[in-house]
A and B are shown apart, each in its own frame.
Chain A
Amino acid sequence: MNDIRFFLDVSPLRDFAWTGIPIVTAKIARYLLDTRPEATIFYYGPDVVLPQFVAVAIDSAPGGYLRALIESDTALAGSLDDALRGDFIAVGLFPNIKPVHRVFDIELVIIHDLSSILLPEMHTPESAVEHSQAHMRDVATSDLICCVSNATREDVIRYLGARPERVFVSHLGCDHVANDTGALQSSDAVPPYVVALGTIEPRKNLMLVGNFIRSRPQVCDEIAFLFIGRRGWGAQFEELFGDIMRMPRCRDRVLFTDYVTEEQKQRLLRHARFAVYPSLFEGFGLPVVECMALGCPIITSRSSSLVELGLDDTAYFNPLSLGDFSRTFGLMQTRTALDEERRKLSHELIRRASVFTWGAFVRRIMDRVEETVATLPAAKPSTRSSSSRRNRRRAIA
């Protein structure tokens, strides 16, 4: 049996606000700490990061904690170069864009979506080019490519010419927190509101919700709109919705929270009548699964990976069609008007979301890595020098 060491790039954890990719990184790190602590090495750039600090960060101090400790050298424990010395199969796990290439015996990259290639207009030009180039390079230099949805897998094979046998799917998971939907929904003190989810950026297509309100301002008499999401790039909330917020009927009924913590988000979603997620294109659609897991009914785009998340067909709309959105919104409004109906729907969504777990997500990755390692000839013990390591053999032809 080959001795395996897992090298996880924890650079995504430098972000101050943990959404999406930092969360995925944290979940992989937690899994490795739980199941293979001795065989796990975390690294950040050229440095190895002490696992105890990673553990504290992912369990109780997300955000700037780890970054501060790394930047002050407190959390560092030698170089990646040194950690690579030894007789083992080095498996590099890259939760996002690869900062290094062909350093490990086996390299596995997670590709979340190809929006920078397929929808470059939804990114800043610099970011689109940078990510497009990175995806091309990553696919060319990786032994295994994990896509977070079938839609992304198909795009990676088609548009990047990846060999299908190297590309596999592992759907992301979500945290399944204890639910007491009955108690939460009976709150008469909370006015009915709909949550619109998503960072304020063009790809999230929040303009569709704006156009809906513009076309039917009377909807604000029945229900308020709460936009939850951090500021991104492009036209921001005030520009997108300024005119609506000046409409007498909609004033104080269309609100924007900016970034909220996970806890705050969960509370807001639990109290919402339902949520809307009109994104044009997603790699997976984590916010949708999070809503489902919290029992919050949601309507979302019939696009990209979102159809893989298991909502009823009536919960999907064409994100380019205001008419379709209005129809779907109206249906969900009717469906959730009665507490009893909404509660039933909540329970059903929680059940459906239960298939998406972080454990299953990482297990599929680890299984695939181990399958690949098993196909290799047993490692011949030898002490690799720094120079020979640069020429580590490619594990897979």
Chain B
Amino acid sequence: MTLYYSVRTRKALKERLGRLPLGLPHYSYGIVCGKFLKLFRDMEIQTVELPMPEIYPSYRSVGPRSLGTSKPVHLMFKAFDEFRLLKGAYNIAHVAWEYSNLPSFDRMPQFHSKRTHPLNDYVFALGLVDEIWVGCSFTRDTLLREGLSNVHVIAAPIDLPQRPVRSAGNESVLLDDAMLTPVQSVECARPSIVRAQAEDPAPTLGEGLFLRITDCKFRGGRVFLSIFNPHDPRKNPGPLLAGFQRHCQRHRPNDHLIVKILVDGKYNTLNDVLRVILPRRCRESLWSFDLMDCENITLVCGFMTDEEMDKLYCAADFYLCTSNAEGQNLPLLEAMARGVVPISPATTAMADYVTEDNSIVLPANEMPVYESAASAYGLFDARWYEVSTKDVTLGIERAVSLDGRALQAKRAAAIQTVGKRYSSAAITPLVAQRLSAIKETLGSDPELRADQHSMAAVQ
């Protein structure tokens, strides 16, 4: 079976068919696509990228590869409004959706600004495809409630580390050559440093990052990690930063939080994040938090290699997540795969895998999505789940008070959860099962939906 896929966004196409830079809207579809492509390679499934499937009158026009007898499958990793079908093929959309309902023209006011493109009606857009793959049960249930069918939970596979993960308890400080290797491609700064350099607030290069981690561990501190895109209104950074700061002030001044910010350092710099983007996000969620006033938080931005990310995950003790809603939450799962214990709400996507066995579960309250986030999609009456600063602080305190055995048990459970539900070994049978079912249907049913779309012209 030939499997076509498309991933490039309209913006990337405009910029000479390149890929979107880190942190810009929809870039995570590229990350998910990369994970599936690796899986398909391992499964020996031939894949061909179609940058612009919409231009072909039929899959037969794509090229010699498509001259086979069976209809191909076209898998899209794209935001809803960027769906473009490959005519005649079996079109699947792999989508991420985190809110409790979908934008629909039926619910939008007549003159809403999103009514400028037919695919801004996400219910309509999803109705165009033959099948939908989603990253979690929450999304599947939301789509089913909207009347959509043929929705399958097939999450992006998570790589498990090759080498054994370090043990818990009285571990030695990780001061080895790897920790001294500078990370040249990133900028990193503690907010207080930026304040001190107000006249020339250039952040330092990343060579200090792992030394800071080592320093923290020398002083008996715990390392917390959080990774998010600051542009994304769901990430709720206010309680995350304030809750951690409160914890350090009250109890453990040696603990340290590394916040890996998903901006590329080019379109948005660390300064933009510190001075504009994060304060705006904190304001939106009604938190006023002075980022300039914390010594225990290091902000990092820029592209890090897989090896560097692996090192960062392995250096962390806990992963702190305060997100209001997630479609899968890849960084959290990647951290868990390396034995990092989540401190996270068990809502939306996390409801599938965050439990007290493998995590510190933060309580979260169901709340209406605030206006600036909802209006970006033309979303009405949607809900999400917010955690409070107080609960973040309490969660962190619970985490650091775990004894060695309890911590080890959670680490092992975290690794086991990812291995069981999100590893390549876990996802491969799901994909194989779906592709096999599709192949069977395509072979046996000439009136398949893919065919129904091929309407005869009426002259």
Enumerate chain A interface residues (CB-CB to B < 8 A). 117-121, 129, 132-133, 136, 150-151, 153-154, 157-161, 164-165, 167-170, 202, 280-281, 301-305, 307-308, 316, 318-321, 324, 364
Contact = CB atoms under 8 A, between A and B. Distances in A.
B326 to A, nearest CB: 29
A324 B118 contact: no
Interface residues of B, number: 29
B379 interface: no
B52 A280 contact: yes
Interface stretch (B138-146, B149-157, B189-197, B451-459): B451-459
A118 B55 CA distance: 9
Contacts of B85: 158
Contact of A121 (B10, B115, B124): B10
Contacts of A320: 51-52, 55
B218 interface: no
A308 B116 CA distance: 30
Nearest to A164: B455
B55 A158 contact: no
B41 interface: no
Nearest to A207: B16
A334 B165 CA distance: 64
B54 A169 contact: no
A119 to B, nearest CB: 7
Contact of B52 (A119, A151, A159): A119
11 contacts: A117-B117, A117-B118, A121-B14, A151-B57, A153-B458, A167-B458, A169-B457, A202-B14, A304-B56, A319-B55, A321-B63
A129 B124 CA distance: 18
A interface, over-half SS: helix
A307 B457 contact: no
B414 interface: no
Given A117-B117, A132-B116, A303 B455 contact: no
B119 interface: yes
Interface string B434-459: 00000000000000000001110111
B interface, over-half SS: loop
Contacts of B56: 302-304
Interface string B29-65: 0000000000000000000000110111100011100
A278 to B, nearest CB: 11
A159 B124 CA distance: 9
Contact of B63 (A168, A170, A324): A324
B124 A168 contact: no
Given A168-B459, A303-B61, A364-B459, A154 B453 contact: yes
B459 A304 contact: no
Contacts of B51: 320
Nearest to B12: A121
Given A121-B10, A364-B459, A161 B54 contact: no
Contacts of A319: 55
Contacts of A318: 61-63
Interface string B370-388: 0000000000000000000
Contacts of B453: 154, 158
Interface in B106-129: 115-119, 124, 128
Nearest to A306: B57
Given A118-B54, A153-B455, A302 B61 contact: yes
Nearest to A116: B117
A136 B55 contact: no
Nearest to B9: A121
Contacts of B116: 129, 132-133
A305 B57 contact: yes
B65 to A, nearest CB: 11
Nearest to B51: A320
Interface in B46-98: 51-52, 54-57, 61-63, 84-85, 87
Given A164-B458, A318-B63, A320-B51, 11 more contacts: A119-B55, A120-B10, A121-B11, A154-B87, A154-B455, A158-B128, A158-B453, A168-B458, A280-B52, A318-B62, A321-B63
Contacts of A168: 457-459
Contact of A169 (B62, B84, B459): B459
A318 B56 CA distance: 9
Contact of A150 (B63, B115, B457): B457
Nearest to A154: B455
Contacts of B117: 117, 120, 129, 132
B459 A159 contact: no
A161 B458 contact: no
A281 B55 CA distance: 6
A180 B87 CA distance: 41
A117 B84 CA distance: 10
The interface centre, meaning the residue of A304, A308, A316 with most chain B CB atoms within 10 A of its CB, is A304
B55 A153 contact: no
Contacts of A129: 116-117
A169 B55 contact: no
A161 B84 contact: no
**Closest A-B pairs by Cβ, 3 of them:** A121-B14, A150-B457, A303-B55
Contacts of B115: 133, 136
The interface centre, meaning the residue of B54, B55, B56, B458 with most chain A CB atoms within 10 A of its CB, is B55
A350 to B, nearest CB: 23
A132 B118 contact: yes
B402 interface: no
A174 B209 CA distance: 68
B22 to A, nearest CB: 20
Contacts of B57: 150-151, 302-305, 307-308
B124 A161 contact: yes
A154 to B, nearest CB: 6
Nearest to B105: A136
Nearest to B119: A159
Nearest to A170: B459
A109 to B, nearest CB: 16
Nearest to A118: B54
A321 B84 CA distance: 19
B13 interface: yes
A138 to B, nearest CB: 12
A285 B457 CA distance: 17
A158 B144 CA distance: 21
B61 A307 contact: yes
Contacts of B84: 118
Nearest to B15: A121
A317 to B, nearest CB: 10
Contact of B118 (A121, A159, A301, A305): A159
Contacts of A117: 117-119
A165 B55 CA distance: 24
A133 B56 CA distance: 24
Contacts of A120: 10, 117
A319 B61 CA distance: 11
A153 B458 CA distance: 9
Contacts of A154: 87, 453-455
Contacts of A157: 455
A169 B61 contact: no
Contacts of B455: 153-154, 157, 164
Nearest to B454: A154
A157 to B, nearest CB: 6
Contacts of B52: 119, 280, 320
Contacts of A321: 63
B13 A169 contact: no
A183 B119 CA distance: 53
A302 B60 CA distance: 10
